[in-house]
Structure 1
């Protein structure tokens, strides 16, 4: 009974970002990073190089970030039909991006503290080992960056073919860029210190790198936080929706909420009062051009007061 009507009224709750290509490439980057990390820790222990050891353990923080990225993809896909999530698992990848941004901030803080300490108490540097580490790190990160770059352009959401933001992948890519930047600054500082005797240059470059990475981390946190906190859509888009509804008959919106259900999809609850009520599908049809609205709930209230009319 009512089966056809029910099927027509039911709305999709799958807002998960699908990016199998990026997930596969992230696994390659994770494998490459783990191999490099283990090799540097073993070599540093055997040859007594603090530079090798430090970079090895530094890469461990990025391994954790890539694991977060892969876990977010897997968890979101496995639980997208789980009724325990009211609007699906579209925010899981955003949460992964937020967690990785925090990890990126921790890396920047560690770099800053270490750099300040070295600026106050300069350490003797093993230039040959340190430059070797920096070059190895740069090569690994350039390969990783090529693997991850622009894969977000191939991502799509269920039922939607156009490109979307993948904060989860962006966070992983930023970790790779952060490591590459660290390696480049280290090479410049080490060459300057080795040939000019400027030992302070190493610590200064570390502080500059920490500042840049902090800016990246804060930017990613600002992008992901509104999604996680049910942030609304921009005012112009919201106003256009209201104008569209209220330009039809004598409709007036009395309650209106739009919020993120994923990085790229929004849900809306719209309560309308009108003296000429129509079926809800009429009001939804008015909003077909607003393709950022993926889940719409309409409440229609009849007004018998003459003041409701224009």
Structure 2
């Protein structure tokens, strides 16, 4: 194992939930970058706020997926060492939080820009907007389908998925704005659609940020009832008390727990440990648990600790 300064690996590398969706993330990145360039070019050429808004979302999309990929690779390549005992898996959660902040900034900018334009909307040619929005819609639909499954398992992939979803809605909005401008010549359609895209994205951004912060603050995973888990451990044969129970998420798909189990003098500690591990694994899908099975004397010492 070695006795150096953090160069040895503590355990074999494990893929997080995001790691299984690298090909999908790469494909979504390529699609997004291509459409983003087209939308920015035509958006500025035609003064279409709806198209610029969608391109800006596409930019955060590309940046977000890029960050997600970097975070996954960072987490995969740097397993636990003696200085980084949990590896770099939290990079994925930080990427999701950065994504949320980016989206919030872009949505705010678009709403501000649209409000300033309402009084004097520029003339926007509908046809180029319509063509580029159609391309964007197809591209976003492909990226959406690629990331849909991964978004259920990984917060990191979910960040990228939410951005693709908002882009998909944005493309539909731009398409509507192009059709309205082309058929009626109504200039307010473009800034109004820009605002609608911004407002649509904001609530989803808040949810993503909240979920990332929940992990960073080491709150219990939302799908695990810690009180029920505590009661289940207390109900195990030979266990008198459970204390110092902690359940947290390292990154999406990697839940961790630790607990002290107080047992009587004549109890088979190996059997208690095996029962507790099986309970956590089978009922709560927690494979990585650090359990301290201790006699009553040790438990009394635990009660004296301040935190």
TM-score, normalisation: structure 1: 0.77
Q: Please tell me whether the aligned partners of residues 259 and 291 of structure 2 are also in contact (alpha carbons under 8 angstroms).
A: yes
Cα RMSD for the two superposed structures: 3.1
1:296 to 282, 285, 290: 290
Aligned to 2:115: 116
Q: Please tell me whether the aligned partners of residues 275 and 303 of structure 1 are also in contact (alpha carbons under 8 angstroms).
A: no
Q: Please tell me whether the aligned partners of residues 238 and 267 of structure 2 are also in contact (alpha carbons under 8 angstroms).
A: no
2:250 to 251, 261, 269: 261
The one-character-per-residue Cα deviations of 1:176-231 (angstroms, maximum 9, x if unpaired) are: 11112111112213322443343323322222221221111112122222112111
Matched residues, number? 282
Could you tell me how far apart the structure 2 residues matched to 1:261 and 1:98 are? Answer: 14
> CA 1:280–1:191 in 2, change beyond 3 Å: closer, same or farther?
same
Q: Please tell me whether the aligned partners of residues 12 and 295 of structure 1 are also in contact (alpha carbons under 8 angstroms).
A: no
Could you tell me how far apart the structure 1 residues matched to 2:12 and 2:291 are? Answer: 13
Aligned to 1:74: 73
> CA 1:50–1:199 in 2, change beyond 3 Å: closer, same or farther?
closer
> CA 1:252–1:151 in 2, change beyond 3 Å: closer, same or farther?
closer
2:156 to 144, 168, 189: 168
Structure 1 residue 101 corresponds to structure 2 residue 91? no
> CA 1:15–1:258 in 2, change beyond 3 Å: closer, same or farther?
farther
Structure 1 residue 241 displacement after superposition = 3.0
Aligned to 1:86: 85
Q: Secondary structure at the match of 1:240?
A: helix
> CA 1:124–1:297 in 2, change beyond 3 Å: closer, same or farther?
same
Aligned to 1:29: 28
Q: Secondary structure at the match of 1:296?
A: strand
Structure 1 residue 78 displacement after superposition = 0.5
The one-character-per-residue Cα deviations of 1:251-281 (angstroms, maximum 9, x if unpaired) are: 1224322222232333333234444264653
TM-score, normalisation: structure 2: 0.78
Could you tell me how far apart the structure 2 residues matched to 1:245 and 1:73 are? Answer: 34
